[in-house]
Amino acid sequence: MMTFAARCGLSDYGREAAIEELLRSVRARKLERVRIGWCDTHGVMRGKTLMPDALHDALDNGVGMVGTMLLKDTSDRTAWPVFDAAVKAQLPGFEFAGNLMLLPDPASFHTLPWAPETGAMLAQAWFADARPVPFDTRGVLQRALQALGEAGYAMRCGLEVEFHIYRITDPRLDPMNAAWPHEPPAVQMLHPGYHLLSEEWGDQAEEALRIVQATAQGLRLPLRSLEIELGPSQFEAVFDVMDALAAADAMVLFRNGVRQALRRAGYHASFVCRPPFPNIMSSGWHLHHSVIDRATGRNAFTREEPASGTTVLDAQHTLSAVGAQWLAGLLEHAPALAALCSPTVNAYGRFRPNALAPQAVLWGRDNRGAMLRVVGGAGDGATRIENRLGEPSANPYLTMAAHIHAGLDGLRRGLQPPTATEAPYAEQGQALPKSLAEALAALVGNAALRGGLGDNVVDWFARLKASEVSRHEAATDKTEWDRREYFGRL
């Protein structure tokens, strides 16, 4: 009898060999459980824990998951009335909270460094009739990478992730005070901040940073450095360059692992952009990326020498024609990109003057105040574009997919960027959206991203986020809403 994986077109010799190796590894290591993890719309890992005896069947036939998991906003409220008959026409396959199927990827198997005798795999969502679920965000990125490949390119990414770590003083788990969303823990800082890259602050936080290091390296993620950021109890993790899908997976695995490993030791890690305290510094996610010519394996953003007649303020002084057009595509679609790079109400407090965060749709040559920072130069194989628009809780699959479709639009249309900014907080460039609602309106109206991501994906994402926006607008105490919605959960 044909397995579900075969019906989905995933059963081949390579996958079968990977399954056999995985099962041997589980037996040899005497693992007691294997977690099947799936990244939701909001970048949070969800999943189920299987016993070893159930693993082979799960790899062949999938694991059932309630379909409303793809219809929930950041509070876990379902944003569609799934028991209304009209939903069948709007979202076929999601009516009546029926099952979807998670198919684990055996190539993603790993053990968890913080959880003894525990393995884990990433999975993707399929309908029961073996159709891929269009809203599975890992699949959204895979489709974008396929489009990029058809154009002759691949994408490479490096991650710089800012986040906060606090020591928990009260977990606030009294069942008499349970609420939806729950009260986040009471915390205290690990360092007082405002002493960037301080060795002393780093030493004060050494225990927590050792846990972060052990977690990242135990997950085989290419961690390069851990650093003291400017804000109180704020840190940064920097990763080496990876293929785009591996980088997106790494972002999800890192956030999930760090939060769990630190929580076991009495710490609370938060990747929310702006923790709910006075005098904090916002956290950003800086996505370094380039595209690779698949025929030659060379960085397609690199040029051998500056274009004739250019200055350092011209894109083609530093970037190839491909790189300049890609840069122009990102600028063209920046307001819509904001909805996917900074997808929370919380994030829009970050875009303020002189805060090492962008305010306007500008690019700069090694300029950390600009939205897009071009790094490198003629002859430098590491030439790249750093997008400083993102927040660290964003779904990395959607963020990278949007980058690809915006960049490809720049290539197809031969767009050219303006000259670089030298005063990113003084020039009158196009302003970035002031709110998530404004960014969502830009995304919904953006033909290129609708065409690339799919109308259904854009409309689904916008409705989920509109639910978040409307609940925030209705909240009488918006600070309390922000604390419960984000700080304890992201």
What residues form DSSP beta bridges with 104? 123
pLDDT for 81 equals: 87
pLDDT for 84 equals: 84
**Among 249, 247, 237, residue whose Cα is nearest residue 213:** 237
Alpha-carbon radius of gyration of the chain = 22
Question: What does the buried/exposed string (b/e) look like for 76-104 if buried means 16 or more CB atoms within 10 Å of the residue's CB?
Answer: eebbbebeeeebeeebebbbeeeebbbbb
273-320, pLDDT tens digit by residue?
999 999 999 999 999 999 999 999 999 999 999 998 899 999 999 999
Tell me the C-alpha distance between 483 and 490, whole Å: 10
57-106, pLDDT tens digit by residue?
999 999 999 989 999 999 999 988 888 878 777 888 888 888 899 999 99
The backbone torsions φ and ψ at residue 248, rounded to the nearest 5 degrees and listed phi first, read -65, -45
**Among 374, 314, 353, 350, residue whose Cα is nearest residue 439:** 350
CATH code for residues 4-133: 3.10.20.70
pLDDT for 194 equals: 92
Contact of 74 with 393, CB cutoff 8 Å: no
pLDDT for 89 equals: 79
Question: What does the buried/exposed string (b/e) look like for 181-218 if buried means 16 or more CB atoms within 10 Å of the residue's CB?
Answer: bebbbebebbbebeeeebeebbebbeebbebbeebbee
pLDDT for 58 equals: 95
Strands (E), 379-430: 384-390
Contact of 424 with 358, CB cutoff 8 Å: yes
Residues of the chain under the 50 pLDDT cut: none
pLDDT for 354 equals: 81
Helix (H) or strand (E) holding 152: none
194 CA to centre of own chain: 27
CATH code for residues 145-487: 3.30.590.10
Domain borders along the chain are 4-133, 145-487
pLDDT for 193 equals: 92
pTM: 0.96
